[in-house]
Structures are given as C-alpha cells and as structure tokens.
C-alpha cells in the first residue's frame, strides 16, 4: 500500500511521504487562493472549492478564511454554510450532510498521533529522510445540524441528524440525532422538541 492508501484506510502512515507532501501543498495553494478572494468573487470561490473538495453539493458557502490538509477527503452536501475561520484537517474522510450550519472558528480534526513520545517524534528512515508517523479517524456530521462557534470536533466522531452543538464545545464522542449537546467534553443536554419551534406552521 502507498502511504496515501494507508492514510485513507486509517492505518499508521508517514505524513512526510512525498506524495502526501505534494497533495498538502496543492490543497494549501488552493486555500491561499480562496482566502485572497474578495466579496465580489463568489464565482471564483465556488470554482476553487470545486477543485479543492472531494465532493460538494449545491449552495455550499464558506467565508474566508479556510484551512484544509488535503481537501479531497472532504465531502459536503447541499445548502451548507461555514462561517469565518473553518479548519478541516481531513487526513481521514470528513463527511458533512445537507443543511449544515457551522459557526466561526470551528475545527474538524481527524488526525491522531501516537501516545508514546518516541513513536510520534520525527525519525529518520534508512535513506536518511525524515518520517512522521500518524493515523486518523473519520468524522461524520449528519443532516440539519447547527454547530455553533468555537467548537472542536475530534477524530472518529459521528454527529447525528437534527443536532445542535453549543458554542465552545469539544466533541470527543458520538452525538445521537435530535438533541442539543454542549460542554467540554460535549454531552447531550436534552432532546430538541416541538416546544423549541419559533415559527408557526
């Protein structure tokens, strides 16, 4: 297996593999291009996102600035909005559903590093090049989710449908559908019910 194949499969891989370095460089150049656009360049932003992301539905909007590790590992459904300063470290697949609202300063982080220091530190391979061993776990966010500002979503987490994540939360475990969850670590506070409706049907 290549290091890229290991990465996507969730195995230990060398992040300093040349193919992966080039893929990150490509993604980061697209990110730089996106972040340099102005408010009159919506079409250009859309073109850059189409090049960057693995897949993107209709009416997906990101406010600058954005940060991605690879881009190709991120899939986003229809009608989703990302406020300022989104960070998506998509070493493993990141799957985001339809009608997802993401507040400012939200971090979606799939990478993991070994707990034992000598395993996670830089090392030299037999040919003298540097290696950095890591692994990653996918993150899935369902449909009709609102993630408030300053939330961190950690590797391996699945967030269900119709969920609200309160601001400043650190999501370390799966969140079921239909709930409001918040805190550090993020926990289910209560179900979302018809009593929460603000508009008359």
- Residue 122's CB is within 10 A of a number of other CB atoms, namely 9
d(CA 35, CA 81): 16
Residue 79, phi-psi category: left (phi > 0), alpha (psi -120 to 50), beta (remainder): left
- CA distances 100 to 3, 24, 111, 165, 184, Å, are 32, 26, 22, 11, 22
| Active-site pick, 46, 79, 113, 162 | 113
**Quick one: tokens of 110?**
């799939």
Residue 113 annotated among the catalytic residues of the structure: yes
The residue with tokens 């987490």 is 157
The residue with tokens 């079409």 is 43
Peptide bond into 65 cis (omega under 30): yes
Name the residues annotated as catalytic: 113
């Amino acid at each position: 297996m290549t290091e890229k194949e290991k990465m996507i499969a969730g195995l230990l891989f060398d992040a300093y593999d040349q193919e992966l370095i080039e893929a990150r460089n490509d993604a980061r150049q697209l990110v730089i291009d996106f972040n340099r656009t102005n408010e009159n360049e919506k079409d250009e932003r859309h073109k850059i996102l189409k090049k960057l992301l693995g897949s993107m539905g209709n009416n997906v909007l990101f406010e600058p600035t954005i940060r991605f590790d690879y881009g190709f590992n991120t899939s986003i459904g229809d009608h989703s909005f990302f406020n300022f300063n989104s960070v998506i470290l998509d070493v493993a697949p990141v799957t985001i559903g339809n009608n997802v609202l993401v507040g400012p300063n939200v971090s979606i982080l799939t990478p993991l590093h070994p707990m034992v220091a000598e395993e996670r530190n830089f090392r030299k391979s037999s040919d003298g090049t540097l290696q950095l061993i890591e692994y990653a776990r996918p993150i899935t966010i369902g449909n009709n989710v609102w993630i408030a500002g300053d939330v961190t979503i950690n590797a391996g987490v699945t967030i269900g449908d119709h969920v609200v994540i309160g601001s400043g939360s650190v999501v370390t475990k799966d969140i079921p559908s239909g709930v409001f969850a918040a805190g550090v670590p993020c926990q289910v506070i209560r179900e979302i019910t018809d009593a929460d409706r603000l508009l008359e049907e």
